[in-house]
Amino acid sequence: MRVSIIIPTYNRSQMLCKTLSNIINYKYQYHELIVVDQTKEHDQQSKQYLDQLISEKKIIYIFVELPSAPNAKNIGIKNSTGDIIICFDDDIEINENTIPAHISGLVQPGIGCVTGKVIIQNVNQDGNKVLAKRSSLQKRIKFFLFLFLRKKASYVGHFGVLANFIGNKTLPSDTCIGCNMSFRKEVFYKCGLFDINFTGNAVREETDLSVRLRHCGYKIIYIPHASIIHYMNNTGGTRSAKNEAYWFAIFKNQCYFYLKNFNYSRINILFVQIFDILRCRRLGLKAIYIFSQAYKAAFEEAMNIICKDEYSI
């Protein structure tokens, strides 16, 4: 089966080059490597390296003016020729088992999506909320979370979205993880592409697609051998902001996801986002006000959802 790898990138020039160099080491395992670049200006060294890869036809390079994670993926998918689509972030590292493990899952009957283990490594945790130190209460909650998820890698439902993508067992999953996911290309014809209404950090874009995928009758599987190292780079991308705009995007995208897919009430959405709201408050921001504004914006979008044709392949 022909494999297309898609890497959207935004303002991570040097990290992107490291990621591409790593993946190209395994070029015998894939058919094409598509880079959808939303960076307006690279440093000279990175530009030279990218130009070299383009001239040597080691990558298919597409520049997009307006930054949007789901739109960049959609453009990559539309320009791909593979039977299997693998989406990686621009700050990851794969190994010799990553691509074959993705393929091994997708050749199984009924499997439409594979997601893999994500090993987070970043010694500089400044400003990176994902890597923030956890309290004893949060550690206990995480322990019970993993007990709850012992029969599946992730859950999407009344308790929100819960996931354990560091386990060592192959398990069914309700959703994939955006930095390390693969699909049969046919999925996009039947279920649609990524929804471009997920803006900014685009939180829940992959969960939204996962819900549609499962509604179409496909299964999602977590395979630990399809593993990556995720460097969670603090600069560029969508994790660097520490202001109201960052949290507005977090709340708006999550509200939109729950309104669109489950028609949850405002109280229910507030409940499933409680830990994000508490984190926002600890930063000295007006969390409830930001959430309220985000909910209004999400409600308007959910009531005027773009038709499927606008994000179909």
Q: Which pLDDT value is given to residue 240?
A: 47
CB atoms inside a 10 Å sphere around CB 110: 8
Task: For residue 205, give the nearest of 12, 26, 73, 31 by alpha carbon.
Answer: 73
Could you tell me if 223 and 167 are in contact, meaning their C-beta atoms sit under 8 angstroms apart? no
Q: Is residue 240 helix, strand or coil? A: coil
Give the DSSP letter string of 41-57: ---HHHHHHHHHHHHTT
Task: For residue 128, give the nearest of 273, 3, 260, 231 by alpha carbon.
Answer: 231
Token pair for 262: 């489950």
Instruction: Classify domain 3-230 at the CATH superfamily level.
Output: Spore Coat Polysaccharide Biosynthesis Protein SpsA; Chain A (3.90.550.10)
Contacts 24+ apart (CB under 8 A), 60-63: 60/32, 60/33, 60/34, 60/35, 61/35, 61/37, 62/34, 62/35, 62/36, 62/37, 63/37, 63/38
**Strand-pair partners of 171:** 222
Could you tell me if 223 and 106 are in contact, meaning their C-beta atoms sit under 8 angstroms apart? no
CB atoms inside a 10 Å sphere around CB 88: 24
Could you tell me if 92 and 179 are in contact, meaning their C-beta atoms sit under 8 angstroms apart? yes
Q: Which pLDDT value is given to residue 202?
A: 94
Q: Which pLDDT value is given to residue 133?
A: 55
66 phi, psi to nearest 5 deg: -95, 120
Q: What is the pLDDT along the chain (313 residues), one digit of tens a residue?
A: 899 999 999 999 999 999 999 999 999 999 999 999 999 999 999 999 999 999 999 999 999 999 999 999 999 999 999 999 999 999 999 999 999 999 999 999 999 999 999 999 875 555 455 555 556 655 666 666 667 778 899 999 877 898 999 999 999 999 999 999 999 999 999 999 999 999 998 999 999 999 999 999 999 999 999 999 999 866 555 554 468 999 999 999 999 999 999 999 999 999 999 989 998 998 899 999 999 999 999 999 988 775 444 556 6
Q: Which pLDDT value is given to residue 308?
A: 47
Distance, in Å, from the CA atom of 84 to the CA atom of 31, rounded to the nearest integer, reads 10
Task: For residue 101, give the nearest of 218, 210, 230, 227 by alpha carbon.
Answer: 227
Q: Is 122 exposed, middle or buried (0-12, 13-18, 19+ CB in 10 A)?
A: middle
pLDDT digits (tens, 9 = 90+) for 204-260: 999 999 999 999 999 999 999 999 999 986 655 555 446 899 999 999 999 999 999
Distance, in Å, from the CA atom of 109 to the CA atom of 182, rounded to the nearest integer, reads 15
> What's the DSSP call for residue 133?
P
pLDDT digits (tens, 9 = 90+) for 267-284: 999 999 998 999 899 889
The domains of the chain are located at 3-230, 244-306
> What's the DSSP call for residue 40?
S
Could you tell me if 172 and 221 are in contact, meaning their C-beta atoms sit under 8 angstroms apart? yes
Task: For residue 276, give the nearest of 301, 258, 260, 262 by alpha carbon.
Answer: 258
